Structure 1
Amino acid sequence: MLLMPLSSSSSSLVTTTRAFLCKCPHSKPKFQSWNRTHANGASTRHFHCFYQLQFSHMREAVKEEEEEEEEGAAISLEEWRAWGTTSPVPSMVSQIVNDLKLLEKHVDARMSFGGNGGKLQGDFRVQEDKKHRATYQALGDSEKKLQFYSARQIACRVLGSRGYLCQKCWLPVEEDCMCSRINSCSLWPGIKFWLYMHPKDFLRQNNTGKLLWQVFGVDAANLCLFGIPEHEEIMWNAFKLTGKSKVWCLYPNKSSVLKSVQHAFGEEMVTNYEVTAAKDSEVDTTLHFILIDGTWSNSAAMFRRLQDQAKSVWGDEDLACISLNPGASAMHKLRPQPSWDRTCTAAAAVGLLLELQLLPQFSSIGLDTQAEAVEHALTVLLEALTTRRVRMGRSITRKVRQTNIR
Structure 2
Amino acid sequence: MSVDPGMIALILFGVMGLLLASGIWVAVSLTAVGFVAMSLFSKAPAGSLMAATVWDASWNWALTALPLFIWMGEILFRTRLSEDMFRGLSPLVGRLPGGLLHVNVIGCGVMAAVAGSSAVTCATVGRMSVPELKARGYDERLIIGTLAGSGTLGLLIPPSIMLIVYGVIAQQSISRLFIAGVVPGVMIIGLFMGYVAIRARLNPSLAPPFTERLTWREKLSRAKLLIPVALLIALVIGSIYGGVATPTEAATMGVFGALGLAAWSRSLTRASFFEALMGAVRTSTMIAFILAGAAFLSIAMGFTGVPRAIAKSVEAWELSPYALLAVLTVLYIVLGCFLDGVSMMVVTASVVLPMVSDAGIDLLWFGIFTVIVVEMAQITPPVGFNLFVLQGMTGRDILQVTRAAMPFFFLMLLGILLIVIFPGIVTWPVSYMVN
TM, length-normalised to structure 2: 0.21
**Greater share of strand:** 1
Instruction: Give the number of the structure whose alpha-carbon radius of gyration is greater.
Output: 1
Q: Higher RCO, 1 or 2 (CA under 8 Å, sep at least 6)? A: 2
TM, length-normalised to structure 1: 0.22
